[in-house]
Amino acid sequence: MLQKLFISNNRLTSLPHGILLNLPLLSQISLYENNLESLGPGVFGPMALQQLWLYDNKLSRVDDDTFRNLTQLRLLVLSRNQISYVSDNAFRGLTRLGEVSLHTNRLTTLQARTFKELPSLVNISLENNFIASLPLGFLKDLNNLGEIDLRNNSLPNLQQDSLDVFTIAKDVLLQQNPWRCDKDIVPLRNWLKQHPSKVNQTLVVCETPFRLKDEMIAMLTDENLMPVSPTKEPVLTSTEKRRRPHTHPPKQSTPSSAIKTTLASQQENVTNSGQGGFKETINNSDILIALAVVSTVIISLVIIGCVCWKRNRRGNENISQRNRNSML
């Protein structure tokens, strides 16, 4: 009798009702990497199936009682489809289901009863979806829950009722969500402090506001979460390093625009005044030089006049002496 069936890597778009009805010993079916768009309740008949692989198809929803005949199922893999809706009773009857994988789909929320009446469920994979909120008590009575993975979703915060049900899990993966760190994040912050062993707290960090981006939520204080008025909210440039709250701003390596403007004005004033003084100095020097030249010319003329006068006097004395001699 057939025990394992592999129909992967084909182009199947649908499975007719009743095609898998008379296979009571079948324990594994691999239907991954096809083009399946839907599955109806009549596709799977009663069988001892323990593993069902349906990843990498085009399933958009999981309706009530789709797997109701698979009472022995331990592993259900529905990841990497296009699933946006899972009904309240999609997994009804799967009392032995230990792991369900719904990661990398298009889920935005979950139904409150989707995981009800699954007492053996240990692992739930919901990462890489668009889940923005969780229904109250959606994990209630899952007493054997080991891990729930909610990484990379769209959760801005979590209400206290949702957090209370996380307490039954051993590991909760919450990183890579757009956590908004305001007063609504307080329940998550308190829960993280109370259950440090369940979550890697260094990875659960604020996304907004910008002043708290990448801050560990578990380390936030009430003062951190107080709203900041627009006039006090620091405006950081893209190149300025983010600083932790309640620290002084880092010293800037270059002057601000206002300082640069002031310095430029001062430099301009100094330059202008310097140029004015220089021009004045040049004018005074020209006057002194002119006076010196005129004085030199006058002195030279006086000296030349004196010399000429002495020569004329000597010449007259000689003429007089010659006249005397001639007279004698």
Rounded Cα distance between 7 and 34, Å, is 8
Q: What is the pLDDT of residue 318?
A: 53
Rounded Cα distance between 44 and 17, Å, is 8
State pLDDT tens for residues 33-82. Answer: 999 999 988 888 888 899 999 999 999 999 999 999 999 999 999 999 99
How distant, in Å, are the alpha carbons of 109, 120, 159, 212, 221 from that of 226?
29, 43, 19, 11, 9
Strand, coil or helix: 321: helix
Do 165 and 137 touch, CB atoms closer than 8 A? yes
| C-alpha closest to that of 210 among 255, 167, 178, 256 | 178
Q: Is the pLDDT assigned to residue 192 strictly greater than 90?
A: yes
Show the tokens assigned to 113.
């009863």
Rounded Cα distance between 153 and 105, Å, is 11
| Mean pLDDT, range 259-280, rounded to an integer | 45
Do 242 and 213 touch, CB atoms closer than 8 A? yes
Q: Is the pLDDT assigned to residue 258 strictly greater than 70?
A: no
Q: What is the pLDDT of residue 245?
A: 37
Q: What is the pLDDT of residue 2?
A: 81
Q: Is the pLDDT assigned to residue 268 strictly greater than 50?
A: no
Q: What is the pLDDT of residue 297?
A: 79
Q: What is the pLDDT of residue 314?
A: 62
State pLDDT tens for residues 280-307. Answer: 444 566 777 778 777 787 888 888 877 7
Do 113 and 140 touch, CB atoms closer than 8 A? no
* pTM for this model (two decimals): 0.68
Q: Is the pLDDT assigned to residue 156 strictly greater than 90?
A: yes
Q: Is the pLDDT assigned to residue 271 strictly greater than 70?
A: no
Q: What is the pLDDT of residue 273?
A: 46
Confidence of residue 16 (pLDDT cuts 50, 70, 90): confident
Q: What is the pLDDT of residue 55?
A: 96
Q: Is the pLDDT assigned to residue 272 strictly greater than 70?
A: no
Q: Is the pLDDT assigned to residue 325 strictly greater than 90?
A: no
Q: What is the pLDDT of residue 177?
A: 97
The H or E element spanning position 150 is none
310 versus 259: the higher-pLDDT residue is 310
Structure-token match 């009571």, residue found: 24
Task: Kindly report the average pLDDT of the chain as a whole number.
Answer: 81
Per cent of the chain over pLDDT 70 is: 77
> By CB neighbour count within 10 A (0-12 exposed, 13-18 middle, 19+ buried), where does 241 fall?
exposed
The amino acid occupying position 21 is L
Rounded Cα distance between 234 and 223, Å, is 16
How distant, in Å, are the alpha carbons of 274, 293, 298 from that of 117?
91, 118, 127
State pLDDT tens for residues 129-151. Answer: 999 999 988 898 899 999 999 99
11 versus 298: the higher-pLDDT residue is 11
Confidence of residue 257 (pLDDT cuts 50, 70, 90): very low
Of the ranges 62-71, 95-104, 137-146, 308-317, which one carries the lowest mean pLDDT score? 308-317
State pLDDT tens for residues 193-248. Answer: 999 999 999 999 999 999 999 999 999 999 998 887 665 545 444 334 333 333 33
